[in-house]
Amino acid sequence: MVRTEANGEIRREENNIGMLSDGLKIFLRQQWPLIALFLSFILAWMSPQFGASLWDYNGIFLSAIFFLCGLSLGYEVMAKSLRRWKLHIGIQAYSLLLTPVTFYCLVYHWGWDHRLGIVTQALSPGVMAALCMVSTAYTNV
């Protein structure tokens, strides 16, 4: 809204209602995955048999979630990440090769879990499986 003062000066007043709706639009645009997750929780609570009937399509839905999360990244972020390919290979080698192999050698080959009581025998396979997972599977990055 534009207003003229007594001295001839023109002042523009901000419309707070418009700013609130713009802020809400920005929030909804940025937080749509969280809102969709919340709505899916409500849908699952209201109709669990619907979700159970879709169990065969679980892999497709999981792929779609990761694809949509990737679409929310900006072009500059993707380009910057692609330029750091050596870092990504090093991190993946550490997390998918070095860490599981070290755990395997310490626990299964040398038996440190039994001798030192660090990890129970029932927990060892679960820890090994978690160490072999891709980091995005348990961090959603």
Look at residue 107 in the predicted model and tell me its pLDDT.
Answer: 83
- Within 8 A by CB and 6+ apart from 50, the residues are 43, 44
Above 70 in pLDDT, residue 16? no
Look at residue 42 in the predicted model and tell me its pLDDT.
Answer: 92
CB 111 within 8 A of CB 41: no
What is the tens place of the pLDDT at every residue in 51-101? 788 777 778 887 888 888 778 778 888 888 889 989 888 888 888 888 888
Question: At 26, is the pLDDT very low, low, confident or very high (cuts 50, 70, 90)?
Answer: confident
